[in-house]
Each structure stands twice: as C-alpha cells, then as structure tokens.
Structure 1
Amino acid sequence: MKIGLYFGTFNPIHIGHLTIANHLAEHSDLDQVWFVVTPQSPFKKKSTLLDDHQRLEMVYRATKDYTKLRPSDIEFGLKQPNYTIDTLTYLEEKFPEYEFSLIMGEDNLKSFHKWKNYELILNNHNIYVYPRLSKGKIETQFNDHPKIHHVDAPIMELSSTFIRKSIKAGKNIRPMLPEHVWEYVDEMNFYK
C-alpha cells in the first residue's frame, strides 16, 4: 500500500489542506494520505500552536468522512525537535508493508536541500509536489529528479495564519474550514 505523508501543524486544518490531500488520494497512485500532525516545528513559535491533541482532534474531525484520508499522531512520541528522516525511519520499521512518500508544496522544494539527510529521503521515497501561486515555475536542483512528481493539484492559497487572524478579528471564516472543524473551533472558542 502506498501512503502519502502530509506533514503540518494544521493549526487549524482547512479546506485547502483537505482539497490537496483528497486530490492526491484520488488522482495519483497513492492509496491513502496521512495528515502527520507535527508537535513542534523549529520554524514556528510554540506559543501560537494549540495543544497537540486539539490539533489532532481537528484533523480527525476533518478526515473522518474520507476513507482515504487519515490523521496521524506518529510524531507525538518521537524525540523533539524531530526531523522528517527520523519519522520516515520510524514508520518504515513500524509498517514494513507500506511504501511511504512525502507530500509538499512547491515552495518547500526550494529549501529541500537543507533538510537533514535529504539525499537519503530522495533515494528511498517519492515526493509529490503540489503547485503554489508564484511568478512562473520555481526552479530547483530537483526539477528533473525521477523521484519528484509534480502534481497538477488545485492551487489553494489559504493559510492557517489568515484563518487565525480572521477569527481573532471576529470575521466569519466558516466556509474555509471543514464543517466538523468549524463546529469544534467555535465550540472551544479557539483563536479568539
């Protein structure tokens, strides 16, 4: 079985995340997409994040009606800060029958050469790259790499940061979140 790993803080998960994941699950050779909820990103201040389990709950609520999309808390038990290569190694040991691939935005491909053990990731895993709005194609050293697959997924320029700021400002963002996620965010008064 081929599993695509979609990493993120999902703070909150929104319709853009869901659209891209579902597109890959339906229009690529991936059998499932797992939303790997990141407990702590070295690039984000921890204080802006909701509790790990609250974000996992939002991902669970967003994906529960989709058979090919799954939430994953696999990184919660790993040493922090965690690197993608460590997660992949752990998953390969835990699920030797699965083939794991990465899902990333085109903008992340630009800095991929700075990731820990990126060559090892590329040797052993496919990477599915979804487009971002940019002026022309983003040129990287990986553009013609056989393990990198550019996917013609819908371009979703919606950010969790924009959603959080809008909630804080009292705006109605209901159409931007999956229904079950909106209900949870509203009920818990998150981001206000």
Structure 2
Amino acid sequence: MKTAILGLTGDPTHAGHAAMVNALLAMNYDRVALLIASQNPDKPHAPLPFAHRATLARLAVKDLNGAEIWEDEAALPHGGNNHTRDVLRALCETRDIAGATFVMGADSFASFHLWGGYKEILREHGVLVFPREGALDPYVAVHDVGLVTALHDGDPYTVPPGCLAVAQNAALPDVSSTALRKHLTAGGDGGGFLTAAQLDYIRKQALYAPPIL
C-alpha cells in the first residue's frame, strides 16, 4: 500500500493540511496518515492537550477518503518527545509502512538538517516537500551550502536520487496554525480554514478562548 505520512502538531489542523492530503491522494497515494505529535520540542508554545488535537485533526479530514489519523506517538516512551526517525522506526514494528514517504512543508524542511536522525529519514523513507508561501523554496534550501554540507557530509551530489521530491504544482491555502490560534483567541471564526465540525468542537470545549485578565 502506497503510504504518505504527514507529521504535524495539529494545533489546530486546518484547510492547508486538508489540501495537502487531497494533493497526496491525487498523486495516487492509497492512504495519507496524519501522525499527531505528542509533544514538539521545537514549538515554543504549549500545545493543546493531545486528545483535543487528535480530535480536531479527525474532524478536519473526516470526509477525505484515504485520510487516517495516527495517534501512535502518544504511547511511545519519553513522554512522546521523540525524534521523528524513532517514531517512524517504531511504526515499522506496528504498521505496514515499508516504503512510506514522509511529508513536510517547506518551512519545516528549512531546518530539517537540524533534526535528530534526518539522514535516516531520507535514506529509509524519502521526503516529499510542499512549498509554502513565505518559506524558502525547497530547491533553494537544499542548495544552501550549510544544509547541503550537513545533509551529505561532503558528498558530491545535493540529494540522493529518489530521496527528495518537491510538490511544485500543489496549490495550498495561505494559512498557518500559529495565525489561526491568534485569530481564534481574538474571537475570530476560523476565516474559512476550519470545518464547521471543528468550530463546533472548539466552541463546546472552550478551546483557544481569550485569556482571562
């Protein structure tokens, strides 16, 4: 089964993520797994509790045939604070993900060379990068001297064949979870980037409520 794995914090999952799922399904992936991070040490804010983020992700893609929500990381040791490489290797023990592609946005890819185990991810799964408004173009990123040196330790090529692809023609909405959180906390209605089911859940659970002064 041809599988794409999109790792995300999902705080909240939004129309941009759903558009990535649709694009991946159009690329003939049989399933697209949204792998919800239990914790993300690279995110300075404290995310919503895992259960809320997983529910919001499920509501975001519930009408997309082939989309799956994977909550596996929450059950891993270290409080879920794991390198992506280790999460993917753990998934190999419990799920059929042989040959799966790891998917990320260009904003995350710009710092990919700083991830623990990024070389193993490239070697074992490959990476598909989605360009994102305002982020460094992935093709430019891999030609950045520091990144290329880090990725390949002086290898005479930029990216091994088959290990990196760029979804150049994917049209994604210009939205980020960070901007959405600020918008919702200020009393916004999601700006059309959240589903009605997500907004209903957010209201009922009083998520992203303005701070009490």
2:55 partner letter = E
SS in 1 for 2:141: coil
SS in 1 for 2:53: helix
**Residue 179 of structure 2 corresponds to residue 162 of structure 1:** yes
1:23 corresponds to? 23
8 Å CA contact 2:99, 2:124 repeated in 1 = no
RMSD of aligned alpha carbons: 2.0
2:178 partner letter = T
Which of 122, 138, 141 is 1:139 aligned to? 141
2:88 corresponds to? 88
2:107 corresponds to? 107
Q: In the TM superposition, what whole-angstrom CA distance separates every residue of 1:105-129 from its partner, at most 9, and x where no partner exists?
A: 1222222222212222111112111
Structure 2 unaligned residues grouped into runs of 5+: 143-147, 152-157
2:166 corresponds to? 150
Deviation at 1:7, TM superposition (A): 0.9
Tell which deviates more after alignment, 91-100 or 135-144: 135-144
Q: In the TM superposition, what whole-angstrom CA distance separates every residue of 1:4-26 from its partner, at most 9, and x where no partner exists?
A: 11111111111111111211122
8 Å CA contact 2:106, 2:131 repeated in 1 = yes
Deviation at 1:97, TM superposition (A): 6.2
8 Å CA contact 1:92, 1:98 repeated in 2 = yes
Deviation at 1:167, TM superposition (A): 1.5
8 Å CA contact 2:10, 2:36 repeated in 1 = yes
Q: State the alpha-carbon separation in 1 of the partners of residues 207 and 6 from structure 2.
A: 23
Q: State the alpha-carbon separation in 2 of the partners of residues 18 and 180 from structure 1.
A: 14
Deviation at 1:45, TM superposition (A): 3.9
TM (norm. structure 1) is: 0.89
Query: For residues 164 and 91 of structure 1, do their structure 2 counterparts lie closer, same or farther at Cα, with a shift above 3 Å needed?
Result: same
TM (norm. structure 2) is: 0.81
**Residue 172 of structure 2 corresponds to residue 173 of structure 1:** no
Aligned length: 190
2:6 corresponds to? 6
Query: For residues 136 and 113 of structure 1, do their structure 2 counterparts lie closer, same or farther at Cα, with a shift above 3 Å needed?
Result: closer
Identity of aligned residues (%): 28
1:184 corresponds to? 201
Deviation at 1:104, TM superposition (A): 0.7
SS in 2 for 1:175: coil
Q: State the alpha-carbon separation in 2 of the partners of residues 176 and 134 from structure 1.
A: 18
8 Å CA contact 2:4, 2:100 repeated in 1 = yes
Query: For residues 173 and 136 of structure 1, do their structure 2 counterparts lie closer, same or farther at Cα, with a shift above 3 Å needed?
Result: closer
